[in-house]
Chains A and B, each alone.
Chain A
């Protein structure tokens, strides 16, 4: 109760400057690349909607607790978030099902993005592939299993289990080992047995890029959105195409339940999903498009997760598996891997 009160008061506080405007839309988003979003998305939208956008940023835990704390009187109208975080919110009955008729550009999306959670609780706006970046002059990578192989001992980094990339790595290691069950018990134990061979469990792709550029690490799984950092390095990095394929994930848009600002929120979602805006955001190398009609140059495409063939081939970990198992993964991870 106290928590609810404090958080709602906080939101009033934060939103206060916006109240002066007649029409405002409050969105909650990742803090990354805000300058680029402003140019490609926010400013053009404000120019056509005759409204003011209020942007709240933060990490997903903060943003989710804000949405939860204000369930009775939502401050956030729409949010962009990972698909499993969206499912967690949907299970708590905090989201409104989307009326896709109000989002004409919805029809242009890749199939996988149209209704990733079922019941139209969310719609995907960007995909990312995830594979292994490695030093071509030092090692060869053909399989996800190579990550724990002798040849990389002492020179490999894995993503931390608590980030988005961690579970994807578990899934692919599981696939390589032929483990089907989503508890990944054997995979985590295997990582634990090799813990001394792993330089560190990184949390941010910027951190990994630095480690790989100073030759601390020669191979690690990472999201495609970080690829440009490796590509521009003087060291010979390559993007692996392992036998098990690439992993993938999706970020989605959601609508908070009963926010009273649905019309404007739909208008904004539709604008964001339009071919024009998705192209602009893709060309700025921020997000890979979920709109199948987006066409970009080969050079731009190389930095993104782009094209029907690639997107349809991605191994996507079902959001439900992540939220159902995450607690157990972290528990086992803490006991066996970082001890």
Chain B
């Protein structure tokens, strides 16, 4: 740890000032719009927003899908990242390339692919009927399942990358050593892998959860108007009704949810120290 505070600030402040001026100030002004009325400060925008049953449903659905997507991504992500980190360097590089490949594909097209996959004549339904699981095609499109799959596919690479980057720091012999000393895989995971990769889990978890909350294209295309999420609702309010108060309320909810997720994950991470 270096002690020169001035030097440290000189390194850190440009980034902070940049984010403050370009982000926090303008977004802050926008968020404050929901609290303003002709007569002064008010919470009426929030009261009105939550009074509507549709808004409540959309809020709960968004929270549910965000948690499900982040949780599933973490489980699969750990399995995948651990498997990848044990590969030879060459194989690891190739697999890593493939993992980040979907990130490079425009979310528009990636989401669109799911319309073809999940449709009545798509390959999933072909398989279901072929295996005799159902006589008629199952409706998958425009359901929460479709949105869940789309979001998971969209954001899982972020989790895997974060976890891989953190696993870089696990000393190579620690896990075999723990195994030799008689630790079960379960113990290895909770006592060795998790503590050493918690930074990655916090980053990955926040990225995936926040990504799922604020994705626009996936719920718009795969959920449509029947499976609204907060982001699609926000867009609808701004674009159809010029309703900046609702937009401001939704933005605040999304931001609070992301912060809460980040804090919660950090809390869990420190508790395991």
Could you tell me if A330 and B53 are in contact, using CB atoms closer than 8 angstroms?
no
Cβ B53 vs Cβ A214 within 8 A: no
Q: A61 contacts which of B225, B226, B239 (Cβ < 8 Å)?
A: B239
Question: Which residue in chain B gives the minimum CB-CB distance to A158?
Answer: B225
Residue in B closest to A160 when the chains form the complex, CB atoms: B225
Task: Give the residue of A162, A201, A203, A335 whose beta carbon is less than 8 angstroms from that of B53.
Answer: A335
Among candidates A198, A214, A327, residue contacting B116 with C-beta atoms closer than 8 Å: A214
Report if B22 contacts A (CB, 8 A). Answer: no
Whether B54 contacts A215 by the Cβ 8 Å rule is no
B273 within 8 A of A: no
Pair count A-B, CB < 8 A: 55
A103 within 8 A of B: no
Interface range on chain A: under 10, 10 to 19, 20 to 34, or 35 or more? 20 to 34
Contacts of B228 in A (CB 8 A): 338
Q: How far is the CB of A238 from chain B (nearest CB, A)?
A: 20
Q: From residue 235 to 250 of chain B, which have CB atoms closer than 8 A to chain A?
A: 236, 238-242
Candidates B224, B238, B239, B242; contact of A200 at CB < 8 Å: B224
Q: Say yes or no: A216 contacts B141, CB within 8 Å.
A: yes
Given A61-B240, A200-B226, A330-B240; A214-B142 close (CB under 8 Å): no
Least CB distance from A338 to B in Å reads 6
Q: Is the CB of B225 within 8 A of A199?
A: no
Q: Is the CB of A228 closer than 8 A to any CB of chain B?
A: no
* Given A214-B119, A216-B120, A199:B53 Cβ within 8 A: no
In the complex the two chains form, what is the Cα distance from A202 to B228 in whole Å? 13
**CB contact list, A30-78 vs B, under 8 A:** 59, 61-62, 65
B57, B115, B226 interface centre (most CB from chain A within 10 Å): B226
Q: Is residue B37 contacting chain A, with contact meaning CB distance below 8 A?
A: no
Which residues of A314-339 have CB atoms within 8 Å of chain B's CB atoms?
A: 327, 330, 334-335, 338-339
With a CB–CB cut-off of 8 A, which chain A residues contact B142? 199-200
- List residues of B whose CB falls within 8 A of some A CB: 52-54, 57, 115-116, 119-122, 139, 141-142, 224-226, 228, 236, 238-242
